[in-house]
Amino acid sequence: MRHQKHGRKFGRQSGPRHALFSNLVSSLIEHERIKTTDAKAKELRRIAERTISWATSVGSLVENEKKDAADQAKIVHAMRMAQRVLKHKPTLHKLFNEIGPRLVGRAGGYTRVLKLGNRHGDAAPLSIIELVDRGEVEAPEEDQKEAEVAATKGSKKKATKAEAAPAGEAAPQGKKARAPKKKAEGEDKPKKKSKKSEE
């Protein structure tokens, strides 16, 4: 029985799995929006929210210019705890100097998972995971196009069916109109000669 063994394994041993999530969290903090598979996004959400909560716990202290030794010790402790997951130093500083103070008043729920559809090669379900307050920051044009495609995926199919209907109005419903086959003049096939006709 597999009781109380929560978390996905992703076919990896613990070392490569921790490295995978460390890199995914780093990319999420750096770009504030990434595209990955649905299962990885759901698992990443748990780890990313814990890491971001370390930054929000000291977000008000980071902005304060007058820090005493106790405040500085709290910041250092929080940075070291977040550094267990987030190994890239510039991304760690971005987390504590930009993202943490921005999310100070929020009690959890720092990320959002949006489902995109299936990947073409292997039909794996894809998702976008992004920071919740990312709406204030301008998104690149490619990300906006991907979100529009995901939102209007069903309506595009209906639109193409509606456009195809006027073109085939002459045909009865349910059957496609076929153009009549035309034979070119002089292309009649010669009849096969039987043995009896030769004699």
Instruction: Tell me the domain boundaries of the chain.
Output: 14-153
- Predicted local distance difference test score (pLDDT) of residue 191: 64
- Predicted local distance difference test score (pLDDT) of residue 197: 56
Q: What CATH fold (topology level) applies to the domain 14-153?
A: 50s Ribosomal Protein L17; Chain: A, (3.90.1030)
Angle at 41 between CA 36 and CA 47, to 5 degrees: 130
- Give the tens place of pLDDT for each residue, 25-60: 999 999 999 999 999 999 999 999 999 999 999 988
Q: 9, 29, 49, 38: which is closest to 113 by C-alpha?
A: 38
Q: What distance in Å separates the CA atoms of residue 148 and residue 140, rounded to the nearest whole number?
A: 13
- Give the tens place of pLDDT for each residue, 111-140: 999 999 999 999 999 999 999 988 565 555
